[in-house]
């Protein structure tokens, strides 16, 4: 019987693996035997326990201050993580708190320890399902949580979302040269020239104006200033059930589909692991209201179509707006646009203003 699991893009088959098999679980990296779920095409195996692991853990003894989200693979640039419980590296499933850079192995989260608050280097040798995992070839250095650590406070940021955790680029000793959690190299603030056609590594949009660029000549990592400043975790009006965590790459093998614009993405994503709810980093920055040069009223951000029994047509491109897609809408005039259509009009209007200014300057010269 086939079934789907969020960690893999193919259906998985229920299978019995004989004892002593050389296969390993893709979740906990331990030998796979007994009841497993398998994709033969990819040689992807999951223990029954790993397959049914909860997507989120609330008030786990090791980190009660924030929920821990189950990630199918590390989202760090090193493609591995360092477990805050056992001090061993991992590159499989992990329970993670992005706001605190707190990560633990799946098996560490599910294996009771004598004292979960002081469980450094703890591993239960009697656990037959979860023996110590094999270590990745390259793994990060440990970064144990200090004893006096306090989680960052909740800082409201009206009107769209509130932040959980913080990013503080402007408080660095030298704000022009700085580190970002998503990248191993030092970044430098620069004014970008559109003619160079560089792309932001977070939103995949074209860079212009102030941006942070990697100082290594061989590295093409760049961030818009706004993407650099994006909070690690937010509470958003479109998804009030759970906070959204900023991940540096999608927690799925084949990218993600944004719940705002319904387009695919392969870069940074705000993710709710419990609901598989995902937003582009630029979509989450959409303001509550916008103005357009060709419309007399403000347009309000709506999280679903205002039409009930028929498709709503975009008044800019004349194409239908998907019933689940976000849009900007004027209820007074029944006027609405796709998110991208608003952005295109804003861009065209900005370009027109720039060309007009350049023409005026030429007349003065």
364: domain CATH number is 3.30.60
The answer to the question of residue 100 being in a domain is no
Instruction: Please give the residue that has the higher pLDDT: either 78 or 356.
Output: 78
- pLDDT score of 115 more than 90: no
pLDDT digits (tens, 9 = 90+) for 166-194: 333 433 444 567 888 888 888 888 888 76
pTM above 0.95, yes or no: no
Instruction: Please give the residue that has the higher pLDDT: either 79 or 362.
Output: 79
Residue 284, sorted as left (phi over 0), alpha (psi -120 to 50) or beta, turns out to be alpha
End of a domain among 51, 66, 91? 51
The answer to the question of residue 151 being in a domain is no
Same domain, 345 and 299: yes
pLDDT of residue 112: 65
pLDDT of residue 133: 52
The answer to the question of residue 29 being in a domain is yes
pLDDT of residue 351: 36
The answer to the question of residue 91 being in a domain is no
The rounded percent of the chain whose pLDDT value lies above 90 is 22
150 closest CA partner among 168, 166, 173, 172: 166
Same domain, 302 and 356: yes
What is the pLDDT confidence band of residue 139, given thresholds at 50, 70 and 90? very low
What is the pLDDT confidence band of residue 362, given thresholds at 50, 70 and 90? very low
The answer to the question of residue 7 being in a domain is yes
pLDDT of residue 179: 84
Q: Please give the average per-residue pLDDT across 130-145, as a whole number.
A: 45
The answer to the question of residue 14 being in a domain is yes
- pLDDT score of 200 more than 90: yes
Q: Please give the average per-residue pLDDT across 96-100, as a whole number.
A: 81
pLDDT of residue 256: 94
Same domain, 275 and 323: no
Q: Could you tell me the residue range of the domain that residue 270 belongs to?
A: 233-280
Same domain, 245 and 269: yes
Sign of CA dihedral 224, 228, 229, 234: positive
Same domain, 325 and 338: yes
Q: How many domains does the chain contain in total?
A: 4
Same domain, 258 and 238: yes
Joined together, the tokens standing for residue 50 give: 């790993």
The answer to the question of residue 95 being in a domain is no
What is the pLDDT confidence band of residue 23, given thresholds at 50, 70 and 90? confident
Instruction: Please give the residue that has the higher pLDDT: either 116 or 155.
Output: 116
Same domain, 206 and 242: no
Same domain, 365 and 312: yes
The answer to the question of residue 75 being in a domain is no
The whole-angstrom separation of Cα 114 and Cα 124 is 10
Mode of pairing for the β-strands spanning 177-178 and 102-105: unpaired
The rounded percent of the chain whose pLDDT value lies above 70 is 75
pLDDT of residue 327: 92
What is the pLDDT confidence band of residue 310, given thresholds at 50, 70 and 90? confident
> Listing from the earlier edge strand, what are the strands of the sheet with 299-302?
289-290, 299-302, 327-330, 335-338
Give the bridge partners for 192, in sequence order: 209
Joined together, the tokens standing for residue 320 give: 């239908």
């Amino acid at each position: 019987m086939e079934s789907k699991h969020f960690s893999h893009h193919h259906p998985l088959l229920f299978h019995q693996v004989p004892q002593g098999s050389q296969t390993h679980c893709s979740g906990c990296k331990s030998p796979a035997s007994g009841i497993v779920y398998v994709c033969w095409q990819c040689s992807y195996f999951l223990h029954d326990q790993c397959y049914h692991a909860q997507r989120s853990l609330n008030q786990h003894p090791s980190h009660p201050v924030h929920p821990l989200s189950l990630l199918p693979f590390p989202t760090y640039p090193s493609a591995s993580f360092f477990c805050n419980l056992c001090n061993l590296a991992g590159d499989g499933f992990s329970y993670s708190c992005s706001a605190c850079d707190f990560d633990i192995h799946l098996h560490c989260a599910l294996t009771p320890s004598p004292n979960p608050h002081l469980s450094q280097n703890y591993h239960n040798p009697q656990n037959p399902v979860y023996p110590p995992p094999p270590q990745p070839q390259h793994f990060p250095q440990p970064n144990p949580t200090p004893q006096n650590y306090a989680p960052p406070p909740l800082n409201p940021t009206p009107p769209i979302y509130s932040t959980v955790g913080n990013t503080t680029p402007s408080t660095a000793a030298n704000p022009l040269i700085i580190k970002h959690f998503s990248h191993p190299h030092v970044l430098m603030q620069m004014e970008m020239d559109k003619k160079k056609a560089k792309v932001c590594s977070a939103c995949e949009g074209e860079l212009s104006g102030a941006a942070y660029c990697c100082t290594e000549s061989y590295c093409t990592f760049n961030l818009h200033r706004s993407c650099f400043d994006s909070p690690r975790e937010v509470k958003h009006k479109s998804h009030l059930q759970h906070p959204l965590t900023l991940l540096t790459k999608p927690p799925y093998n084949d990218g993600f589909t944004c719940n705002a614009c319904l387009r695919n993405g392969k870069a940074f994503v705000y993710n709710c692991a419990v609901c598989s709810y995902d937003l582009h980093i630029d979509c989450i920055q959409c303001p509550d209201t916008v103005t357009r040069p060709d419309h007399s009223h403000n347009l309000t951000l709506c999280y679903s179509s205002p039409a009930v029994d028929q498709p709503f047509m975009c008044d800019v491109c004349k194409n239908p707006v998907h019933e689940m897609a976000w849009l900007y809408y004027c209820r007074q005039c029944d006027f609405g646009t796709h998110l991208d259509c608003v952005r295109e009009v804003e861009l065209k209007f900005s370009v027109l203003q720039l060309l007009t200014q350049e023409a005026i300057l030429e007349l003065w010269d």
